[in-house]
Amino acid sequence: MQKPFQICDRVYLVGGPETTDRRDCCVYLVDGGSELALIDAGLGDSCKLILENIKKLGLDDSLLRYVIVTHGHIDHIGGLQYFRGLGAKVACHELESGAVSEGVPELTAAWYYSVEYKPVAVDIAFSGAAQDIVIGDITLHCPLTPGHTPGGISPYADIKGTRILFGQDIHGPFNQSWGSDMKQWKNSMKLLLNLKADILCEGHFGVYEPKGKVQEYIESYLKRFS
pLDDT digits (tens, 9 = 90+) for 146-189: 999 999 999 999 999 999 999 988 999 999 999 999 999 999 99
Report pLDDT for 209. Answer: 98
Query: What tens digit of pLDDT does each residue of 35-81 get?
Result: 999 999 999 999 999 999 999 999 999 999 999 999 999 999 999 99
Domains of the chain in start order, with CATH, are 5-224 (3.60.15.10)
Residue 6 scores a pLDDT above 90: yes
The confidence score (pLDDT) of residue 111 equals: 86
Q: Which pTM does this prediction carry?
A: 0.97
Long-range contacts of 85-90 (CB under 8 A, 24+ apart): 88/38, 88/64, 89/65, 89/123, 89/124, 90/66, 90/120, 90/121, 90/122, 90/123, 90/124
Confidence (pLDDT) at 168: 80
> What is the tens place of the pLDDT at every residue in 82-130?
999 999 999 999 999 999 999 999 999 998 888 999 999 999 999 999 9
| Pairwise CA distance, residues 33 & 209, whole Å | 24
End-to-end CA distance of the chain: 35
pLDDT of 1 over the 90 cut: no
Rg (CA), the chain: 16
Strands (E), the chain: 5-8, 11-15, 27-31, 36-39, 64-68, 89-93, 124-126, 130-135, 138-143, 156-159, 162-165, 199-201, 207-208
Q: Alpha carbon of 130 to those of 32, 91, 95, 187: distances in Å?
A: 20, 13, 13, 15
Average of per-residue pLDDT values in the chain: 97
One-letter amino acid of 73 = H
Tens-place pLDDT, residues 60-72? 999 999 999 999 9
